[in-house]
């Protein structure tokens, strides 16, 4: 038996997922691939979106026509809490042997695998399949391996690494389907065509259940909400906090906030703090967060409100305020400063 393990949020599942797994199944000859929706990725900020049940059903629909080799496994949804891959592997090892299991991950996760909980144990317990885009340079020499892997490689052949743990790493290049889940969610919220990005069955399910909306019903006044968010940024020493009402302007939001941090770490910290403060006050997670890992330009998406937090040097490059000159600048005040 050869068993693949593929996890993700599937918010929503799209043709990139389908292309990846059908290609891997064909090239690796897997008897079965467990498609595992996570409950919460421990390395990512929680997002607002469809329920666990909806995500699981969309994943099932996405692969329903590709044969019984593909099955949705709700092991992480039932377990709840943060979804650590090592816990899932240990569960699967109760019914499968270690050499039967292959963890399927993208090249980005492969490069950052050392950030995962018990990553060394993962490399002892399962084989790894790394999916890459055309043009990705498959590492062949020690200088090209991620730092965490260099002492674990016993032998290297083109496309395959044999590890000292007895497990292997194999690389599979995919046909390039450049699909961003966050951009796809934005298209769905705005009612734009998405049939080229997601399976028809998934698109029909999304429409039938009204899963993605432009705004969230928990916010009744986005101007006041923008003022709240601006104050959170002020409290964290943000620089040059500005807001713009963009209703009537050709844009994807009604209100935009922009602020700067003194470093990439400061920028990421402000964005993470904003997400926490909004969750505490409004019980609301963002629809998407982009750029928090690098901290150069972080976008926190609340539908009608977009918050842009820049490392100040990068902000000067893009000058978003110039793009919003047809909007109305909000009169934001730092309420912590006494008159």
Tell how strand 168-173 and strand 127-132 pair up: parallel
For each of the domains in the chain, give its residue range(s) and CATH number, in order of start: 3-173 (3.40.50.620), 222-329 (3.30.460.10)
What pLDDT, in 10s, does the model give residues 90-100? 999 999 999 99
What pLDDT, in 10s, does the model give residues 122-173? 999 999 999 998 878 888 788 889 999 989 999 988 789 999 999 999 999 9
Cβ pair 336, 234 in contact under 8 A: yes
The helix (run of H) or strand (run of E) holding residue 105 is strand 101-106
Facing residues of 102 across strands?
Answer: 4, 127
Orientation of helix 222-235 relative to helix 264-282, angle to 10°? 130
The helix (run of H) or strand (run of E) holding residue 243 is strand 239-245
The percentage of residues in the chain with a pLDDT greater than 90, rounded to a whole number, is 75
The span from the CA of 212 to the CA of 12, in Å, is: 10
For residue 15, count other CB atoms closer than 10 A to its CB: 17
Does 87 or 317 have the greater pLDDT score?
A: 87
What pLDDT, in 10s, does the model give residues 211-240? 987 555 678 899 999 999 999 999 999 999
- pTM of the full structure: 0.85
Provide the 3-class DSSP secondary structure of residue 157: strand
The span from the CA of 207 to the CA of 193, in Å, is: 12
Tokens of 123: 């490399």
């Amino acid at each position: 038996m050869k068993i693949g393990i593929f996890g993700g949020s599937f918010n929503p599942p799209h043709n990139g997922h389908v292309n990846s797994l059908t290609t891997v199944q064909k090239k690796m000859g897997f008897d079965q691939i467990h498609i595992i929706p996570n409950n919460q990725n421990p390395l990512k900020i929680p997002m607002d979106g469809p329920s666990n049940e909806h995500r699981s059903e969309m994943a099932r629909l996405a692969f329903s026509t590709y044969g019984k080799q593909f099955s949705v496994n709700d092991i992480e949804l039932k377990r709840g809490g943060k979804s650590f891959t090592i816990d899932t592997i240990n569960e699967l090892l109760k019914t499968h042997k270690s050499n039967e299991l292959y963890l399927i991950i993208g090249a980005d996760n492969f490069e950052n695998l050392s950030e995962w909980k018990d990553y060394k144990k993962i490399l002892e317990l399962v084989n790894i399949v790394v999916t890459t885009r055309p043009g990705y340079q498959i590492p062949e020499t020690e200088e090209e391996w991620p730092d965490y892997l260099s002492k674990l490689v016993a032998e290297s052949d083109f496309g395959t690494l044999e590890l000292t743990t007895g497990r292997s790493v194999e690389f599979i290049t995919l046909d390039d389907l450049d699909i961003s889940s966050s951009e796809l969610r934005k298209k769905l919220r705005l009612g734009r065509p998405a049939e080229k990005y997601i399976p028809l069955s998934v698109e029909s399910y999304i429409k039938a259940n009204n899963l993605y909306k432009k705004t969230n019903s928990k916010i009744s006044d986005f101007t006041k909400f923008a003022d709240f968010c601006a104050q959170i940024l002020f409290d964290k020493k943000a620089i040059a906090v500005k807001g713009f009402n963009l209703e009537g302007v050709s844009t994807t939001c009604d209100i935009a906030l922009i602020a700067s941090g003194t470093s990439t770490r400061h920028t990421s910290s402000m964005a993470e703090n904003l997400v926490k403060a909004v969750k505490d006050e409004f019980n609301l997670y963002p629809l998407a967060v982009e750029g928090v890992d690098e901290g150069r330009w972080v976008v926190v998406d609340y539908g009608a409100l977009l918050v842009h937090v820049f490392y100040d040097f990068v902000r000067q490059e893009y000058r978003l305020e110039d793009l919003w000159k047809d909007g109305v600048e909000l009169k934001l005040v730092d309420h912590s400063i006494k008159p």
